[in-house]
Structure 1
């Protein structure tokens, strides 16, 4: 038996449908669609693995501490994210509004809440702001494009992205506090 999403998601879905539909509709423009797809792919894992791996090169001996901090933070965040996603069971917009929102990128699963891509983008931006703020010139635009791509590709609602950003903020803050 399929788990049922909470009633609040039904109401949010209807409120967000029009905006999601419009944002996903912009994907008919090939250059924009290509940019969204690229951002989505980079935000899946490659950008963050490269960022983690670069820490020793960027910071010398202290970089190994950052590499460990970023890795542990990401692993814990993934665990919590998966737990939330499989318990809350909010279906993706292209599933809920079958045919009226076109998904232009394959989804890994059927649930959308929260956005893991956005969670990681925000989390790594905040960690990087603390250790290598000069990298934000690259990471902030990429992270913003990753967040937009999730809605623009028909994979997430805006509230999924907002929740992912809040969760990413919480994990980065906790990580920085624990690292002292």
Structure 2
């Protein structure tokens, strides 16, 4: 067999591997959601999720504008526009894939924060946390002690709150990273 020619994978075998992965991912999601049963972690992750709706990122962007003034206007406008691109990208993918959220597929998933829509793939919160986090860090690295934990809390909140699977979060982060890279190349 040539190293340059891809090996054919039988559909049944691929389906078996995908099925095994999806079962594992459902188990991981369920275990992450158990954290949600404790009052304090539930409150922390719910707050992170709420702030990840936009408020937290607006506050951080305003902090950058307050410190840097006019020099920060263009990067913050690019960040704002990239947020719009992110919304278009993730809504298009969500509508095309139609992957239902864990709470719609597993009765053991407990939810205390209402989802923004019915589909889970990819995680828009994680996409924006990655996109905005990278752009803010590129402009103001000294905010890393605020931005990195906040972005990680927003991303992990999606699984803890039972709103997303691991692959939703990972793909959201990858798309957010791509959007941030493109946005930074414009500056």
TM-score normalised over the length of structure 1 = 0.89
C-alpha deviation, 1:85, in angstroms: 1.0
Q: Distance in 2 between matches of 1:51 and 1:86?
A: 30
Q: Identify which of 19, 27, 30 aligns with 2:39.
A: 30
Aligned partners of 1:118 and 1:168 also within 8 Å: yes
Structure 1 position 131 matched with structure 2 position 139 = yes
Q: Deviations over 1:94-138 (max 9, x none)?
A: 1012x1222221112110000111111111111012100011110
The answer to whether structure 1 residue 81 and structure 2 residue 90 are counterparts is yes
RMSD over aligned Cα, in angstroms?
A: 1.7
For 1:33 and 1:20, how far apart are their aligned partners in 2?
15
Shift of 1:62: 1.3
Rg larger in structure: 2
Asked if 1:152 is matched to 2:157, the reply is no
Contact 2:127 2:173 in 1 (8 A): yes
Unmatched 5+ stretches in structure 2 = 1-14
Gaps of 5+ in 1: 1-6
- What SS does the aligned partner of 1:105 have? coil
Using the size of structure 2 for normalisation, the TM-score is 0.86
